[in-house]
Amino acid sequence: MKVLLDAGASLGPSRFGYPPHPREYRKMNVCRERILRAVEEVDVVTMSHYHFDHHVPSFVDWFSNWSSAETAKQTYERKLVLVKDHRAMITPSQRRRGWMFRKTGGKQAKKLEIADGKAFEFGETTVRFSEPVFHGAENTLLGWVLMVTVQCEDEKALFAPDVQGPMHDHTVKLILNEKPQLVVIGGPPLYLTGFKVSVDRIQSGMRNLETVARNVPLVILEHHILRDEHWRKLSQSIFDAASEAGHLIATAA
């Protein structure tokens, strides 16, 4: 049994005032093709929340989301799709997107099921979803996401999308309580420090990420933290914490 986590990809429509670069479009095309190849081999597709970089919308958009009704159909058709509840602990915009997904791409699924706080058994594999956790700091306007643990026998891998650090201490506790050997996590949005995200919140996210690095043998950094040109230098404390514990830090880049 194979699981595809958050089968989305998108480009920032205006990053520091600039539209996507042609090199980004070429990479976006490669990413979308890789996702569609992966879809052919999986039984289950998950959706942690309804931001467009985490699922495929059904409208045509070649500017930032590289999406269409056909792409959504290819992604979700005949799959068990496990999704964030669009009716509870969700922002108004994501509520609309979740409702729309059910009317469009979600209709292609073999089965569409709410996953919040649930566990699903597939032979020797368990796919376990957290309660909704903050998309960053406590009470953020960005809403909530689901983390997911995939377990087979004694092996556990935990995917913590968009927890931005995690910034929220309760999210750290949930991660550590799972006792995973592998965590895939976005880290704080360093590139937004001081003008969209406060310095205090960024520092909180970095401290909590150090805690994760000390307690988890392998941490794969992805998403927000890698968007800063100087992310490696700014993340030295994370690497030091992992090294002191005999653990490893890698990136999805």
Q: Are residues 152 and 74 in the same domain?
A: no
User: Do 156 and 98 share a structural domain?
Assistant: no
Q: Looking at the structure, tell me whether residues 92 and 155 fall in a common domain.
A: no
Last residue of a domain, one of 116, 151, 180: 116
Asked whether residue 134 falls in the same domain as residue 231, the answer is yes
Q: From residue 196, how far is each of 16, 24, 140, 141, 229 by CA, in Å?
A: 12, 24, 12, 12, 17
pTM for the whole thing?
0.95
Q: Are residues 79 and 144 in the same domain?
A: no
pLDDT at 93: 96
Structurally, how many domains does the chain consist of?
Answer: 2
**HSE-up of residue 119 (Cα within 13 Å, Cβ side):** 10
For the chain, 253 residues long, give each residue's pLDDT as a single digit of tens.
Answer: 899 999 999 999 998 889 999 999 999 999 999 999 999 999 999 999 999 999 999 999 999 999 999 999 999 999 999 999 999 999 999 999 999 999 999 999 999 999 999 999 999 999 999 999 999 999 999 999 999 999 999 999 999 999 999 999 999 999 999 999 999 999 999 999 998 999 999 999 999 999 999 999 999 999 999 999 999 999 999 999 999 999 999 998 8
Question: Do 85 and 26 fall into the same domain?
Answer: yes
Structural domain that includes position 180: 120-253
The reply to whether 88 and 159 lie within a common domain is no
Domain boundary pick from 60, 95, 116: 116
Amino acid of residue 155: E
